[in-house]
């Protein structure tokens, strides 16, 4: 069943807002187009108006959480994560928010525990800096 997760992060006069609607399917029951991101975990991006460069941020969300996903879903693999809708506020958006929204959706729907580092606002450049290099996992 599809469900929605909203990622919001505001630490200045503007912030990041991404609403993501997705659902999980057994691969055997899914006939749409998908790519295998990591072994037995596929991604289907059906949301309109998403740039191909933004796909990488959704893929990153799966790659960062792959061990937790494979552990939590081992009896259900292979699976497809189907991204159906993305809702963004153009004034409050950076594509890195897609990664955080997908990880939040996975935590909400599957029950994985995965903590991404908190973004830092760079006042000089007027952007949020996301550090994906050192995620905090449930094993730490």
| Domains of the chain, start order | 3-137 (3.30.230)
In this predicted structure, what is the pLDDT of residue 82?
98
- pTM of structure: 0.90
Overall average pLDDT of the 10-14 stretch: 80
In this predicted structure, what is the pLDDT of residue 133?
56
Closest CA to 61 of 100, 27, 4, 30: 100
In this predicted structure, what is the pLDDT of residue 49?
86
Would you call the peptide bond into 78 cis, given omega within 30 degrees of 0 as the criterion? yes
Helical pair 52-72 and 96-110, crossing angle rounded to 10 deg: 30
pLDDT (tens digit per residue) in 61-117: 999 999 999 999 999 999 999 999 999 988 878 999 999 999 999 999 999 999 888
Residue 12 confidence (pLDDT) above 80: no
CA dihedral 4, 104, 107, 11 (to 10 degrees): -130
- Tell me how far CA of residue 128 lies from CA of 46, 77, 94, 103, 118, in angstroms: 27, 35, 8, 18, 10
| CA–CA dist 16, 55 (Å, integer) | 17
Q: Please, are residues 120 and 129 in contact by the beta-carbon 8 Å criterion? A: yes
In this predicted structure, what is the pLDDT of residue 10?
86
CA 130 and chain centroid, separation:
14
How does DSSP classify residue 134?
A: S
- Residue 136's pLDDT band, with cuts at 50, 70 and 90, is very low
Residue 135 confidence (pLDDT) above 70: no
In this predicted structure, what is the pLDDT of residue 81?
98
Average pLDDT in the chain: 90
């Amino acid at each position: 069943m599809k469900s929605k997760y909203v990622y919001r992060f505001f630490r200045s006069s503007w912030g990041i807002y991404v609403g993501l609607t997705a659902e999980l399917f057994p691969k055997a029951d899914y006939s749409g187009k998908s790519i295998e991101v990591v072994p037995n975990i596929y991604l289907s991006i059906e949301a309109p108006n998403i740039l191909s460069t933004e796909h990488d941020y959704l893929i990153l969300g799966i790659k960062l959480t792959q061990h937790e996903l494979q552990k939590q879903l081992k009896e259900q693999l292979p699976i497809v994560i189907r991204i159906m809708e993305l809702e963004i506020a153009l004034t409050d958006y950076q594509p890195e928010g897609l990664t955080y929204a997908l990880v939040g959706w996975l935590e909400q729907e599957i029950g994985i525990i995965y903590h991404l580092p908190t973004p830092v606002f760079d006042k000089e450049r007027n952007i949020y800096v996301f550090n994906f290099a050192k995620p905090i996992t449930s094993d730490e």
